[in-house]
Amino acid sequence: MKKLLLLSLIFLCSIGYSQTVLFLDDFQDSDISDWTLIDADADGEDWTPVNMATTAPLYKGMRSASWISSGALTPDNWAISPAIDLGAGGTLITLSWDVVDRDPSWDLDNYSVYVSNTPDDTSMLATPVIFTEVLAGVNVMTPRSVTLPSTLTGTIYVAFRHHDVTDQFAIDMDNVKVTSAPLKNDEFFTRNFSIQPNPVSDVFNVTSKNGVAIETIQVLDINGRIVNQLNASSTESVQVNVANLNAGVYFVKVQSELGVGTSKIIKK
């Protein structure tokens, strides 16, 4: 049992999990000119730099208002990030930011977060909403984070949309960050592949979930010996015959265009 557990850890764990920062804007330069700003409601009010350097909590960021001194606003304001390169994917991508609604008495501002490969509001609206909230009670800078879809690759843009609200006050954003971290082999497998059936008697299928091309498949016993290997020629579904194997636990190791994933099967 201990031997099996140890070998499971060897096969199913990757070597390191350090994060790589792909994008960070802490707005310390008080400059948001590299963001694409869209005043979709055309009221002349949009996201602006904000400097709270002398008023607690101390920060610099960007702000969108639903009320100004001249009266109520009904914003539909977009702030779209500069280009962020995710590369070929196959990693855990996390988007994080800090947010606050500035007035505790008027704190029902609403915003949503989108991600697209194209930096415009039309493209963003064609994608699923990544995150949305009404900021009731969020009256100090508060961290938020979401895991981005594993299907995202290449160049992406992150959008913050202040919308569907009127006559509250203002929301501020700070510390927008995108990080990348290696997936464990089993996490990578679960995100990108499936095995059916499992347990298996004779034949099982390895199928790509996200169009990830399969290059090779190895079946290993609990001692790490390769008992079957297939070259898949970059297909998205592969049939593996294990009829000649003894009953027991085996590991399926998939080499793909994005990386290596490992999962466990039971041979009946």
pLDDT digits (tens, 9 = 90+) for 146-180: 999 877 889 999 999 999 999 999 999 999 999 99
Residue 11 is predicted with a pLDDT of 41
The CATH code for residues 20-182 is 2.60.120.200
Residue 24 pLDDT:
97
What is the distance between the alpha carbons of residues 266 and 268, in angstroms, rounded to a whole number?
6
Task: Give the pLDDT score at 45.
Answer: 97
For 119, the token pair is: 């930096």
d(CA 224, CA 218): 10
Helix, coil or strand: residue 180: strand
Alpha-carbon dihedral angle through residues 14, 17, 237, 115, given to the nearest 10 degrees = 180
Q: Which residues of the chain have pLDDT under 50?
A: 1-17
C-beta separation of 17 from 181 below 8 A = yes
List, by residue range, all CATH 2.60.40.3080 domains of the chain: 2-15+184-267
Please tell me the predicted confidence (pLDDT) of residue 128. Answer: 95
For residue 88, the model assigns a pLDDT of 72
Domain 2-15+184-267 classified CATH 2.60.40.3080?
A: yes
Residue 104 preceded by cis peptide, ω within 30: no
What tens digit of pLDDT does each residue of 101-128 get? 999 999 999 999 999 999 999 999 999 9
**Distance between CA atoms of residues 63 and 172, nearest Å:** 4
CB atoms closer than 10 angstroms to residue 239: 12
List all residues 6 or more positions away from 48 whose beta carbon is below 8 Å from its beta carbon.
32, 62, 63, 64
Phi then psi dihedrals of residue 161, to 5 deg: -120, 120
Numbered ranges of CATH 2.60.120.200 in the chain: 20-182
Which amino acid appears at position 44 of this protein?
A: G
* CA distances from residue 139 to 101, 135, 146, 184 in whole angstroms, order as listed: 5, 8, 20, 37
Chain centroid, CA 195 distance in Å? 24
CB–CB of 63/44 below 8 Å? no
